[in-house]
Amino acid sequence: MTTFDQACPLVGVEEEYLLVDPETRAARPESAAVVAKATTELGERVGTEITRYQVEAKTEPCTDLAELAEQLRLMRAAVAEAAAGEGARAVASGTVVLGDVVPPLITDHPRYGVGIANYRSIHDEQSICAGHVHVHLPDRERAVLTANHLRPWLPVLIALLANSPFWAGRVTGYACWRTLCWGKWPVAGPPPYFASAAEYDETVARLTEAKVLVDPGTIFWDVRPSARLPTLEVRVTDVPATAEESVLLAALVRGLVVAALDRVDAGDPGPRLRDELLRAAYWQAARDGMDGNGIDPVTGRLASAAERADALLRYVRPALERTGDLKLVESRLARLAVVGTGAARQLAAHARRGSPADVVDHLVETLSGGLG
């Protein structure tokens, strides 16, 4: 990576997609063949995931969000074309809409074998897909302290990007069912509060010694210093339904990191939240998306999801002015308020005829599209 720019750091996105059969609309285990075909276009930026229903792809790090948007569109198009070449289709959904995926077909890799031996039936609900945002942050001490400042806003990101209301043919009653599935891992969900990188490292060492972790890659907290890159990784949301929403997510996450760095540099250690309030806020956001209320984990007060989103925008506004992303974020949030979240749009597709197949068709059509 290039020289660190605290005012507007580089940002990159990783997205996970599901493969489906165009006839049955069920999840289809074609990841190895699809990845092999997509490699022609994307090279090492595409790979397999834990189940054979999933494909992961990533952008290069970018400063300009217009460049990031173009990479995302081309990346999604390349995966969609490769899937079609194998008689499948690609969709961006946090969970499987249709298909018998319990237990899932696991990708053949020694690491996953060790994971199954360690975590056992937790893998049964891992045909799920997230969106990950990496922000360039080479200083691990500041990365850990920055995460403390991001914790209060993680439920808002879950609600805004909720895109997983179905699970294997069922309407779950949740906007983000993936959050509930993912929370079963022993080291997952919101990261604990850490006073320093040394405390973070000590905690990881103890978890490793206790054989809770297979390797550093099984630290599944929703914010973590990357084990491989000089970045802070935020991995709290469903895979966004559209490339436009991925850009919105990247802009918000980068804005949160820039805002947090200012506070870290000023000696602000970040709010020590009550864990039960943060957990409840996660659950509310996962259940209702943008259609309900949520606890502010700092104050404990109840507010509508829209009010919490407005509070997030106020918090990051100065940072977004510095990164040059304020107008983009304001316009995308306004548009999202009109068309609804990915979860709301999935449910609307289902409501027309009560058909999960219609939901899959909607997802196939919108993989590379905009917000309408």
Sequence-ordered strand ranges (E) for 181-241: 188-189, 220-221, 223-225, 231-238
The angle, 0 to 180 degrees and rounded to 10, between the axes of the packed helices 243-265 and 305-323 is: 70
Write out the chain's pLDDT in tens, 372 residues: 478 999 999 999 999 999 999 999 999 999 999 999 999 999 999 999 989 999 999 999 999 999 999 999 999 999 999 999 999 999 999 999 999 999 998 888 887 888 888 889 888 999 999 999 999 999 999 999 999 999 999 999 999 999 999 999 999 999 999 999 999 989 999 999 999 999 999 999 999 999 999 888 889 999 999 888 899 999 999 999 999 999 999 999 999 999 999 999 999 999 999 999 999 999 999 999 999 999 999 999 999 999 999 999 999 999 999 999 999 999 999 999 999 999 999 999 999 999 999 999 999 999 977 665
How far apart (Å, rounded) are the C-alpha atoms in residues 331 and 251? 12
Contacts of 28 (CB under 8 A, 6+ apart): 19, 20, 21, 53, 88, 99
Q: Bridge partners of 295?
A: 302
Angstrom distance (rounded) from CA 161 to CA 272: 25
For domain 11-366, the question of CATH label 3.40.50.620 is answered with no
Length of the chain: 372
Peptide bond just before 240 cis, omega within 30 deg: no
For residues 79-114, one letter each, b for 16 or more C-beta atoms within 10 angstroms of the residue's C-beta and e for the rest, the string is bbebbeebebbbbbbbbbbbbebeebebbeeeebee
